Each structure stands twice: as structure tokens, then as C-alpha cells.
Amino acid sequence: MTQVRLTVAAVAAAIAAATLLLGGAFRKSPPVDSAQPAAAASAPASPALGETAALVRRLQLQLRGKPSAQGYATLGLAYEQRARETGDPGYYSKADGVLRRSVALGARNAVAVGGLGSLALSRHRFRDALRLGHEARELAPQEVRNYGVVGDALVELGRYREAFAAFDAMAREKPGLSAYSRISYARELLGDIPGSIRAMKLAVDTAMGQRESMAWTRVQLGKLYWATGRLSPARREFTTALSVFPGYVYGLDALAQVEAARGHLRRAIGLEAQAASDVPLPQFVSFLGDLYRVNGQPGLAAKQYGLIGVIRRLLAANGVKTDLETALFQVDHGIRLRQTLALARLAHRERPSIDGDDVLAWALARNGRCDEALRYSRRALRLGTQDALKYFHRAMVERCLGDDATARAWFGRALALNPHFSLLWAPIARRALR
């Protein structure tokens, strides 16, 4: 893979590269219901993996003897990192407590306010994140990371033009991993996969020497290849991530999807089981259940599906909203469809993004509300995003409406983009085209 080496002597070139990658595309009005087809991908936080637990212990000892606004703010950020490393949502509550203590102790404490903003993003409380991001920017206009908090929140609220402007400003002010990864995601949303890959390759380059950041960027790059059906380059990136960072759970999960697509179900189950055991995130546990189901092990599948509710109750107890993810899981698995439609509507009000539109469209279609489903499915595709699962949902909406010819066209587009887009639904699309 060709990589662009960014050095201190090449700052001007880096800024030019960022401008080229943005290319003014963010200022164009995206087409409605465009025919042109990896949660916002935020860059990993500091400190580096392996150091965080020791940092937490050291800060706890220091703060017992000498409480300070700066110390509590740093501890709060370290707790957020531990939540990401371990999957334990209890760290969110710990982070919330010490960050609020920091704000109470320190006047104009932009670090703590920004930390509360990133915590709100992790908890899927996007309106709170937007408010806190703006507040942090007012307190410290020179701190570029707060553009990321604001932009990420705006994406999830469906305010794409403003979000992309924030990412644009971030790239101009401080090109680097955080900016490039957000540029990549913005271009992916707009359907520009080649541009998204170029930006993520820059992010990979800037992660050199940082083990977790390198693994994270490699996985994100691999997901771009995966999304467009390119199994070999996707697998290469995922295996590279795992060579850089053995046991990296996001790499294990991604590689499991590739192995399943290649028909290696037992190998996929082994990889996903390891990921779900190390960090029991709902998406890992759900996919492991799907793998067992497809492999003819319904008892083991049911056991994994049952864990989803337990995990989500734990997340909710620590302030994490999972309405959208819960609605998608339940619609996919035919669970309490009428109640799930109400949940999807609630999730959409809180998160009126293209993902919120898509999940609501899918829930409406599964409940036979075909005309309304079509309206939201069109909105889900309004940016021109190339997403095979959204294409499949559109096909199912058209089938719900009785338009079999149009449904077949959308099934075909989903499979043409990524023949392995879903373990459960790609076979349905293939059967529809026979």
C-alpha cells in the first residue's frame, strides 16, 4: 500500500493534502434519494493502551493527597479510555463523576468540558455532546479536538453540512489522525469511497509508532474495502492490525466477518468468540449469535441473543442510550415488532441521521407500513452513501409495496456492492434474484 509520509518538514504539504481530500465536496447539496451508494469513526484517544491502567492508579493516588481540577480532568479522560479498552460501561460513570468534580474546581476548565462532550458521544447523548462541544470551543478556541466533538455530534443529529464544516476546520487547523479519519468518514457518507480510502491511508501513516492507533486505522481502512466487497485487501488490513496489536478485539471481529464470507464458519466463530469474551460489546455478541445460527447451532445462538438484553441493561445503568441499536437488532431478529417500531421512532427523534432513517424504514417495512417506510428509506440514501445494507432495506421496502421489479434492482445493487454484506440478509437477497 502506498503511504504518504508526513513529517515536521511537510506541514504545508499536509495541509494541502487535507484541502485536496475535502475538495469542496462538503459544500455541495447532496442529491435526494441518490442512486449512488465502519459508529462516525472517531480516532482513538490518548494515552496508549497498556499505560492507561497504570495512569489511573497513579492519578488516583495523587488526587487523594492533592485534589486538582487538572488531575480530575486527566483521570476522567483516562476512565473514558479504559471504558473503550475493556468494554466496561462502569468507567463511564466514573468518568462522569471526576469530570464534573474537575469542572466544579476549575474555572474555565475546557479540558473537563471537552471530556464531558466526548463522554456524551460515547453514551449516545448527541445533543448534550453538541452543547458541551460548543462550550469547550468557547472556553478554548485554539483546541482543535473540540471540532471533532462538535462534528461527530452533528453527524449523528443528521446536520451533515455543519458537521462537515467542523471537520473541514479541524483539517485546516491541525491535519493528523483525528482529522483524516473524520474526513474519511465524511467522504464515505457522501459515497466517495476512493476519497475515503485516501484519507484513511493518511490516517494510517500518521499512526506510525502508536500500536493501538495503528491497529484502529488499519481496521477502519479494511472496513472500507469490506464495504465494497473487496475481501482480500480487507483481510490484509485486518490481519495487519492483529499483527501490530495481537488480540485487538475490533480486528478479531472484523476478521471474523471476512472468514464467514469465505465460508470458514468455525474459524469465524473462534475469532468472534474471543472478541466477545474479551470485550462483550453488543455487536460482537449479536454477530456471534448469528454465526451460531447459520452454523446450525440454534441453542448457542439463543444463548448469545439472550446476553444482548443483559449487556444493554448494564449500558443503560451507566447512562448509555442504545435505542437505535436495540431497534435494529430486534427488527433483524423479528422480536416484538410492534413495540420495536415505537422504539425505532423514539430513536429516530433522538438521532435523526441517515442511520436513524434507515432503521425506522426497516422497522416500518417489517410492520407493513410500506408507504411511510419508503419515505424514510429515501431519506436514508439522501447523501449518496454506498451501503449495501441500506440498499437491501430499500429492496425490502419496495417488496413491501408490491413493486417486485424495483425490489430486484435494489437487491442486485446491494449484492453488486458487497456480496457478503450481511450473514443473515445477503442469502435472502440472492434468493430474491433467482
Q: Which residue has the cell 425490489?
A: 407
Residue 304 pLDDT: 97
Fill in the amino acid letter for 226: W
- Determine, yes or no, domain membership for 351: yes
Quote the domain boundaries for residue 418. 330-434
- Determine, yes or no, domain membership for 334: yes
Distance CA 343, CA 314 (A): 18
Distance CA 72, CA 70 (A): 6
C-alpha cell at 20: 485536496
pLDDT category of residue 51 using cuts at 50, 70 and 90: confident
- Mean of pLDDT values over 119-142: 96
Report the length, in residues, of the chain: 434
Considering only residues 209 and 28, tell me which one the structure prediction assigns the higher pLDDT: 209
Residue 76 backbone phi and psi in degrees, to 5: -60, -45
- Determine, yes or no, domain membership for 392: yes
- Determine, yes or no, domain membership for 243: no
- Mean of pLDDT values over 118-132: 97
Residue 349 pLDDT: 97
How confident is the prediction for the chain on average, in pLDDT? 89
**Segment holding 315, helix H or strand E:** helix 298-317
Residue 86 pLDDT: 85
pLDDT at 149 over 60: yes
Distance CA 128, CA 92 (A): 15
pLDDT category of residue 6 using cuts at 50, 70 and 90: very low
- Contact (Cβ atoms closer than 8 angstroms) between residue 148 and residue 178: yes
Residue 100 pLDDT: 96
- Contact (Cβ atoms closer than 8 angstroms) between residue 69 and residue 102: yes
Distance CA 338, CA 341 (A): 5
- Determine, yes or no, domain membership for 127: no
Output the CA torsion sign for 216, 217, 218, 221: positive
166 CB burial (10 A radius; 0-12, 13-18, 19+): buried
User: Taking the complete model, does pTM exceed 0.75, yes or no?
Assistant: yes
pLDDT at 282 over 50: yes
Residue 363 pLDDT: 98
Output the CA torsion sign for 281, 156, 190, 7: negative
Residue 295 pLDDT: 98
- Determine, yes or no, domain membership for 424: yes
pLDDT at 24 over 90: no
Burial of 251-261, coded b for 16+ CB within 10 Å and e otherwise, reads bbbbbbbbbbb
| Half-sphere exposure at residue 36, Cβ-oriented, CA atoms within 13 angstroms | 12
- Mean of pLDDT values over 198-212: 94
317's CB contacts (< 8 A; 6+ apart) are: 89
Q: What is the DSSP code (8-state) at residue 176?
A: S
Nearest to 155 by CA among 190, 199, 180: 190
Residue 50 pLDDT: 56
Q: What is the DSSP code (8-state) at residue 263?
A: T
pLDDT at 194 over 90: yes
- Contact (Cβ atoms closer than 8 angstroms) between residue 108 and residue 70: no
- Mean of pLDDT values over 123-143: 96
- Contact (Cβ atoms closer than 8 angstroms) between residue 39 and residue 155: no
- Contact (Cβ atoms closer than 8 angstroms) between residue 167 and residue 179: yes
- Contact (Cβ atoms closer than 8 angstroms) between residue 272 and residue 284: yes
Q: List, for residues 222-275, the tens digit of each pLDDT value.
A: 999 999 999 999 999 999 999 999 999 999 999 999 999 999 999 999 999 999
Q: What CATH number is given to the structural domain containing 346?
A: 1.25.40.10
Per the structure, the count of domains in the chain is: 1
Q: List, for residues 85-95, the tens digit of each pLDDT value.
A: 888 999 999 99
- Determine, yes or no, domain membership for 377: yes
Distance CA 201, CA 180 (A): 9
The CA-based angle 115-121-123, given to 5 degrees, is: 105
- Determine, yes or no, domain membership for 339: yes
C-alpha cell at 252: 478479531
- Contact (Cβ atoms closer than 8 angstroms) between residue 302 and residue 290: no
Q: List, for residues 369-418, the tens digit of each pLDDT value.
A: 999 999 999 999 999 999 999 999 999 999 999 999 999 999 999 999 99
Residue 7 pLDDT: 25
pLDDT category of residue 21 using cuts at 50, 70 and 90: very low
